[in-house]
């Protein structure tokens, strides 16, 4: 989705623009089951993560389904595993 793509590239302004649209599914997942917030948190993108967390519709505790991501199945669990302490504080 455009929101996931913007989050994967730390494009905070585009994230905000997309979040401003009511029809944007802020918790939509990609084919791997990962949300925009998961991508931003896992990549250590502070700006995109902050932009996503500004929207109360974003579910910071959304779990990734399946066995592959069992050890890091939420944004809060993946961020410290990747060494992104600033993201952990935000979440």
> Looking at 8-12, 32-36, 48-52, which range is the least confident one?
32-36
The two three-digit tokens of residue 49, written as one number: 């993560």
pTM of the model: 0.91
Q: Are 74 and 62 in contact (CB under 8 A)?
A: yes
Nearest by Cα to 75 from 31, 35, 41, 30: 41
The pLDDT value given to residue 68: 67
- pLDDT on residue 69: 67
Count of domains forming the chain: 1
Range of the domain at 48: 2-90
* Sequence-ordered list of residues with C-beta below 8 angstroms from that of 63, at least 6 positions apart, any chain: 73, 74
> Tens of pLDDT along 53-82?
999 999 999 988 876 666 678 998 889 888
CATH at residue 82:
1.25.40.20
Residue 21 has pLDDT above 80, yes or no: yes
């Amino acid at each position: 989705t455009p929101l996931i793509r913007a989050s994967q590239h730390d494009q905070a302004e585009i994230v905000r623009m997309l979040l401003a649209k009511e029809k944007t599914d802020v918790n939509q997942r990609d084919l791997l089951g990962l949300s925009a917030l998961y991508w931003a948190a896992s990549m250590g993108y502070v700006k995109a993560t902050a932009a996503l967390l500004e929207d109360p519709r974003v579910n910071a505790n959304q779990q990734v389904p399946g066995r592959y991501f069992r050890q890091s199945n939420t944004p809060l669990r993946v961020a410290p595993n990747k060494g992104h302490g600033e993201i952990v504080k935000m979440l």
